[in-house]
Structure 1
Amino acid sequence: MFEYCTDPDVLSTFEWFSCYLTNGKHLLFYKSFGLIILLLFITAPLAALLGLLAAVAIKSKFLLLRIFSKAYANIVRGIPDIIFFLFIPITIDQLIEFTRHKIKCPEIVDSVWQGSDFVVCGAAKLPLNSDPQWIHDIYGFLLAVFSFTIVYGAFAANTFYGAMNSVPQSQIETGKSFGMSRKQIYISIIFPQMWRYALPGLSNLWMLLIKSTPLLFLLGIQDVVYWARELGGSKTSIFQYPHPDWRVWYFLSLLVFYLLLTKISELILNRISKKIYVPI
Structure 2
Amino acid sequence: MFEYCADLGSLEGYRWLSCYLTTGTHMQFYGSFGTVLFLLAVTAPVALLLGFGGALAARSQIAPLRWFGKIYTSMVRGVPDIIFFMFVPIALDQLFEYLRSRVYCDTSVPVRQGNEFIVCAEAKLPLSSSAEWVHDAYGMFLAILAFSIVFGAFAANVLYGAMNAVPRAQLETAEAYGMNRRQMNRRILIPQMWAYAVPGLSNLWMILIKATPLLFLLGVEDIVYWARELGGTKTAGYAYPHGDWRLYYFLAILVFYLFMTWVSERVLGRVTRRLSLGQSTLAGEAIRKAGA
Q: How many Å separate the matches in 1 of 2:158 and 2:204?
A: 9
Following superposition, the deviation at residue 274 of structure 1 comes to: 1.1
Q: How many Å separate the matches in 1 of 2:190 and 2:105?
A: 49
Aligned to 1:197: 196
Amino acid in the other structure paired with 1:198? A
Q: How many Å separate the matches in 2 of 1:183 and 1:93?
A: 37
Render the CA deviation track for 1:192-243: whole Å, top value 9, x for unaligned: 1100100000000000000000000111100000000000000111111111
Residues 1:143 and 2:142 are matched in the alignment: yes
Aligned to 2:57: 57
Aligned to 1:188: 187
TM-score for the superposition, normalised by structure 2: 0.93
Q: Can you give the 5+ residue segments of structure 1 that lack an aligned partner in the other structure?
A: none
Render the CA deviation track for 1:103-128: whole Å, top value 9, x for unaligned: 10126x44333444322111111110
Residues 1:256 and 2:268 are matched in the alignment: no
Residues 1:40 and 2:44 are matched in the alignment: no
State the secondary structure of the residue aligned to 1:270. helix
Following superposition, the deviation at residue 15 of structure 1 comes to: 0.8
Following superposition, the deviation at residue 164 of structure 1 comes to: 0.5
Q: Can you give the 5+ residue segments of structure 2 that lack an aligned partner in the other structure?
A: 281-292
Amino acid in the other structure paired with 1:196? A
Q: How many Å separate the matches in 2 of 1:115 and 1:32?
A: 38
Aligned to 1:13: 13
State the aligned residue count. 279
Following superposition, the deviation at residue 7 of structure 1 comes to: 2.5
Residues 1:119 and 2:111 are matched in the alignment: no
Q: How many Å separate the matches in 1 of 2:181 and 2:75?
A: 28
Aligned to 1:240: 239
RMSD value over aligned CA atoms? 1.0
Following superposition, the deviation at residue 8 of structure 1 comes to: 1.7
Q: How many Å separate the matches in 1 of 2:5 and 2:118?
A: 46
Q: How many Å separate the matches in 1 of 2:137 and 2:81?
A: 22
Identity %: 55
Aligned to 2:290: none
Alignment of 1:157-168 (within 5 A): 157-168=156-167
Aligned to 2:104: 104
State the secondary structure of the residue aligned to 2:144. helix
Following superposition, the deviation at residue 101 of structure 1 comes to: 1.5
Amino acid in the other structure paired with 1:87? F
State the secondary structure of the residue aligned to 2:220. coil
Amino acid in the other structure paired with 1:157? A
Q: How many Å separate the matches in 2 of 1:63 and 1:206?
A: 31
State the secondary structure of the residue aligned to 1:130. coil
State the secondary structure of the residue aligned to 2:86. helix
